[in-house]
Amino acid sequence: MDTMAAIRETFFQECEEQLGELEVGLNAMEEGVADSETVNAVFRAVHSIKGGAGAFKLDRLVRFAHTFETTLDLIRSDQLATSPAVMRTMLRSADLLADLVKSARSGDAVEEARVEAQIAELKALTENVKEAPAETGAGEAEGLDFQPVLLALDDLGASESQTARYAIKLIPAPDLYRKGNETVRLLRELSRMGEFRVECDARHVPTLDALDPEGAYLAWRVQLTTAEDEASIHELFEFVVDDCELEIVVDRAGPIAAPEASAPVELAPPTPVAVANDVVAPADVAPAEAPVATAAGEAERAKAEPGKPEATATAATIRVDLERVDRLINLVGELVINQAMLSQRVLEAGLARSSSVAAGLGALEQLTREIQEGVMAIRAQPVKPLFQRMSRIVRELTDATGKIVRLRTEGEATEVDRTVIERLADPLTHMIRNAVDHGVERPEVREAAGKPAQGEVKLSAAHRSGRIVIEVSDDGAGIDRERVREIAIKKELIAPDAQLSESEIDNLLFMPGFSTAQTVSSISGRGVGMDVVKRSIQALGGRITISSRPGKGSTFSMSLPLTLAVLDGMVVKVADQTLVVPLTAIVETLRPKRGEVHALGVNARVISDRGGFAPLIDVGQELGYRRDAADPVGSVVLVVETEVSTRCALVVDAIHDQRQVVIKSLEANYRQVPGIAAATILGDGRVALILDIDTFVARTNRSAQEPLLAATG
């Protein structure tokens, strides 16, 4: 039972990959940029899910997938055009297929009425094609009735200019059919190249009671005279070469003669599929060097040129349980800490930097960093799967709101730690819903404003300064700041006479209980969403900002760490405490002169900063480590820049070191502290707090605030 459960779980993991490819392919088809291979990949994804579901007797999933692939087959055979209406049906079908897979995996209910309605919608497209059938070539038979095809192929002739003769042997494996390919189509395309004769070896077809419906028992030998070169023949078999035994040789036996019925061609028998416990095991018929294809995935093909060795196959991959990767990352984190402790002990022992021990520690430090970077790369994943999920949300919202909205994505290949991706799903969903429901106007309103009826929501990701920045923008009406202010006053979130900048008004959207929706609906209006988004982003060590232009749209920008495991930081001393400042936020360090520091008001001070002025913030005083502000002239100043490009000067007592530190969650082990992102363990075993520069600066800019850590000491 454990083995069966593992196989079943592998099937569902592969389903996730296939559903992702299905989403990508359908979106490309909807935009009109898909080629024939994209259409075939979409078909194979549905067909693979259906095949695996049949092995586990998931009849409901099999039934819907069969109807879905039937319609897709009409598209790939050019019998059904990919009109906007057809593509909307295809996308809704993909959503339902994903729900049925999820239902089969976790037991979540999917309404039968919804399944039946979608099947009826797909069948309606199929019936429309059947009512106006296109001309078909001779021998184009459906289902298992393929014998007329062979008779038609024998009658095809060749022009006198054809001189090259080839002998082709084809032994399909079960995977060839399981992935939606057909021998009939291959032979038909081959026949169009020239004079063509084919033999079918059916000696290995078993009796009916022993026949496996998903097996492969027929083999073929073709004699072809053609003006095409060998590369063209190889290209025809490009997408099935790993799922069959294929041999193409120049036939030097002289003129082609019709084969004698009494002398069957000697072909190696194909191995039928072995069936045990209702699970289909792949037959071992592919060449030894071919990569193994999974039940729901197919490796990319490498073209082979005549006279040249085959191209190197795509890189092999393995599945590893995420818990094992997490354990490995934790061990590497402990390795980093122990390496730092060892370096500290050597330094305390007073060994010279030129000693062999110090040199060995330097090499160990470099090796530790390389190991850490390699392990973190294992956890790194592109944001593509997360972005794909948002496409469905936009489709559902457009149906619910009556708006016409298109989702455009950029930077899908941008990689980030898997943990960050998992915890980004909910806040990103909230922001997409907010953009469609509150940002984009209704079609008639957009047209009245001179905009296209179709709105656009853009989702992008990019690496910037050692962090990942994800932006959600729309081309809607923008933030109505007057209305936001009125609602905030009405809800007593701000005082009626409060003087707020545009940025401060925009940030009111993140206050608990705030909502601009006039009515409560299933989408919005309860004042829950954007405040949750902000808390979720802050819990990840990130920050979120808003920019908006009336009539042009709004952009919500999230800046997040690439990983939640390690960071490069500067270790500083403040009073009798040790802190870590993220290196990515530091612009420069300096020791100010007396003439560079200026008083501003009663308590505030600024420092000259490259032609301008930056506010001075005493870190020790703000954190409650000391009562009186330190003298900047006798201290060290760190000039930092926040995500919104605000420059500030942090006053610290001294700089100890610059090193890579392992992040330990403060919230999980203690509680959330404003201005503090996390904690770490130093080389001497002490715990040091890691500053959250953006939150720290924003908090200290409010002059009326109490010291951040006054309550904690």
Per residue in 62-119, pLDDT tens?
Answer: 899 999 988 898 888 888 888 888 888 999 999 999 999 999 988 888 889 999 999 9
User: Locate tokens 């997409």: which residue?
Assistant: 432
Separation CA 52–CA 12 (nearest Å): 9
What's the confidence (pLDDT) of residue 636?
92
Quote the pLDDT of residue 16. Answer: 87
pLDDT score, position 595: 85
**Which pLDDT band holds residue 33 (cuts at 50, 70, 90)?**
confident
Residue 673 confidence (pLDDT) above 50? yes
User: Residue 159 pLDDT more than 70?
Assistant: no
**Predicted TM-score (pTM) above 0.75:** no
209 Cβ contact partners less than 8 Å away, ≥ 6 residues apart:
none
Residue with the larger pLDDT of the pair 450 and 281: 450
Could you tell me where the DSSP H helices lie in 491-596? 502-506, 530-539
* Angle, helix 384-401 to helix 418-434, in steps of 10 degrees: 20
- Distance (Å, whole) CA 111 – CA 410: 34
Q: Tell me: the pLDDT tens digits for 601-623?
A: 777 888 887 778 888 899 998 88
Please give the pLDDT value at position 643: 63
CA distance linking residue 510 with residue 504, whole number of Å = 10
Q: What gap in Å lies between CA 372 and CA 498, rounded to an integer?
A: 50
Task: Give the distance, in angstroms, between the CA of residue 49 and the centroid of all CA atoms in the same chain.
Answer: 20
**What Å distances lie between residue 144 and 57, 68, 141, 149, CA to CA?**
22, 20, 8, 11
Q: Give the pLDDT score at 340.
A: 79
pLDDT value at residue 149: 37
Please, where are the H alpha helices in 442-557?
Answer: 443-448, 481-490, 502-506, 530-539
Instruction: Count Cβ atoms below 10 Å from residue 326 Cβ, excluding itself.
Output: 14
- Percent share of the chain, pLDDT over 90: 11
Phi, psi of 356 (to 5 degrees): -65, -30
Phi/psi of residue 466, nearest 5 degrees:
75, 15
Q: Which of 623, 625, 662, 655 is nearest to 638 (CA)?
A: 655
Closest CA to 49 of 101, 118, 4: 101
- Where does the pLDDT of residue 130 fall: very low under 50, low under 70, confident under 90, or very high at 90 and above? low
Residue pLDDT, tens place only, 400-418: 888 999 999 999 888 888 8
Q: Is the pLDDT of residue 476 over 60?
A: yes
Least confident of 139-143, 417-421, 520-524, 706-710: 139-143
What's the rounded mean pLDDT across residues 625-637?
87
Amino acid occupying residue 150: L
Of 572, 693, 690, residue with least CA distance to 636: 572
If one compares 681 and 353, the residue with the highest pLDDT of the two is 681
* Averaged pLDDT of the chain: 77
What's the one-letter identity of residue 130?
Answer: K
- Place 384 in a pLDDT band, splitting at 50, 70 and 90: confident
Is-contact 271 284, C-beta < 8 A?
A: yes
Summarised one tens digit per residue, pLDDT across range 210-221 is: 888 888 889 988
What is the average pLDDT across 28-47? 84
Identify whether the C-beta of residue 270 lies closer than 8 Å to the C-beta of residue 212.
Answer: no
Share of the chain above pLDDT 70, in %: 80
Distance (Å, whole) CA 187 – CA 664: 62
Q: What local confidence, expressed as pLDDT, does residue 502 receive? A: 85
Q: How far apart are CA 169 and CA 222, in angstroms?
A: 6
What does the pLDDT read at residue 137? 40
The candidate with the shortest Cα–Cα distance to 52, out of 92, 12, 94, is: 12
Can you tell me whether residue 500 is helix, strand or coil? coil
Would you say residue 478 has pLDDT above 50?
A: yes
Pairwise pLDDT comparison (281 vs 60), residue with the higher score: 60
**Helix ranges, 107-136 (H):** 112-131
Residue 346 pLDDT: 80
Fold of 566-700: OB fold (Dihydrolipoamide Acetyltransferase, E2P) (2.40.50)
- As a whole number, mean pLDDT of residues 173-179 equals 83
Position 204: which residue type?
H
- The arrangement of secondary structure in 147-269, i.e. its CATH architecture, is 2-Layer Sandwich (3.30)
Contact assessment for residue 69 and residue 55, using Cβ atoms and an 8 Å cutoff: no
Query: What are the tens digits of pLDDT across the range 177-198?
Result: 877 788 888 888 888 888 888 8
Residue type, 8: R
Question: Is the Cβ–Cβ distance between 606 and 691 less than 8 Å?
Answer: no
Distances (CA, A) of 56 to 49, 148, 651: 11, 34, 65
- Measuring CA to CA, which residue among 565, 562, 511 is closest to residue 535? 511
The answer to whether the CB of 215 falls within 8 A of the CB of 174 is yes
| Chain segment 507-526, per-residue pLDDT in tens | 888 887 776 555 444 455 44
Cβ-Cβ contacts under 8 Å for 391 (sequence gap 6 or more): 23, 27, 91, 407
| 2-131 to CATH, choices 3.40.50.300, 3.40.640.10, 2.60.40.10, 1.20.120.160 | 1.20.120.160
What is the reported pLDDT for 473? 94
> Apex CA 395: angle with CA 394 and CA 398, to 5°?
85
Domain 383-561 carries which CATH code? 3.30.565.10
Question: Does residue 171 contact residue 285 with C-beta atoms inside 8 Å?
Answer: yes
* Helix H or strand E encompassing 658: strand 654-662
Q: Higher-confidence residue: 228 or 440? A: 440
pLDDT at 273: 37
Per-residue pLDDT at 651: 92
pLDDT given at position 434: 87
289-318 pLDDT tens trace: 333 333 333 333 333 344 434 444 445 677
Neighbour tally for 113: CB within 10 Å = 8
Distance CA 679, CA 697 (A): 18
pLDDT band at 264 (very low <50, low <70, confident <90, very high): very low
pLDDT higher at 319 or 396: 396
φ and ψ at residue 629, rounded to 5 degrees: -70, 145
Residue 268 pLDDT grade (very low, low, confident, very high; cuts 50, 70, 90)? very low
Per-residue pLDDT, 144? 36
Band the pLDDT of 685: cuts 50, 70, 90.
Answer: confident
Task: Report d(CA 661, CA 680) in Å as an integer.
Answer: 6
Distance, in Å, from the CA atom of 250 to the CA atom of 160, rounded to the nearest integer, reads: 18
Residue 577 has pLDDT above 50, yes or no: yes
SS3 611: coil
Nearest Cα residue to 576 out of 651, 622, 626, 616: 626
- CB-CB contact of 415 with 446 (8 Å): no
Q: Which helix (H) or strand (E) holds 377?
A: helix 356-379
- Contacts of range 350-354, beta carbons closer than 8 Å, 24 or more positions apart: none
Average the pLDDT over 130-156 and give the result.
41
Quickly list DSSP for 383-428: SHHHHHHHHHHHHHHHHHH---EEEEEE-TT-EEEHHHHHHHHHHH
**What pLDDT sits at residue 523?**
52
pLDDT band of 580, cuts 50, 70, 90: very high
